[in-house]
């Protein structure tokens, strides 16, 4: 019991120092042929605006035979965002984590 209490206390003390400012993303599909030319191997090209407070960061996210990558690297958050958008679009199904109206919840 004592241990449990101690743990809980320690947990409370631990504050996250960096305030988490949420970024919002706007993703817009572009035509890779128009942007990169007809010889491009890029099959998807997305422009992503990341907005955080007053800052706006522009990302260019590509997809080719090597996979997804952003101009900032394959692990850029914009890549995940575009993939999420595409999954949502192509699935054309209720989103797994929408606010409770989904039928998916009843699925077993």
Check residue 68 for interaction with Zn ion (CB under 5 A): no
How many residues make up the chain in this entry?
108
Q: Is there a contact between 42 and 64 (Cβ–Cβ < 8 Å)?
A: yes
Which residues 43-62 are close enough to bind Zn ion by CB under 5 A?
59
Tokens 């054309």: give the residue. 92
Check residue 27 for interaction with Zn ion (CB under 5 A): no
Q: CB of residue 85 vs Zn ion: minimum separation in angstroms?
A: 14
Name residue 21's beta-bridge partners: none
- As a whole number of angstroms, the distance between CA 11 and CA 24 comes to 29
Pick from 76, 81, 82, 85 the residue near Zn ion by CB under 5 A. 76
Check residue 72 for interaction with Zn ion (CB under 5 A): yes
Binding residues (CB under 5 A) for Zn ion: these are: 59, 70, 72, 76, 78
């Amino acid at each position: 019991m004592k241990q449990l209490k101690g743990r809980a206390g320690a947990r409370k003390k631990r504050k996250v120092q960096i305030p988490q400012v949420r970024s919002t993303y706007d993703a817009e599909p572009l035509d890779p042929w128009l942007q990169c030319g007809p010889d491009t191997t890029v099959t998807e090209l997305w422009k992503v605006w990341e907005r955080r407070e007053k800052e706006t960061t522009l990302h260019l996210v590509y997809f080719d035979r090597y996979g997804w990558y952003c101009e900032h690297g394959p692990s850029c958050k914009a890549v995940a965002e575009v993939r999420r958008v595409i999954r949502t679009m192509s699935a054309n199904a209720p989103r797994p984590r929408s606010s409770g109206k989904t039928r998916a919840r009843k699925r077993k």
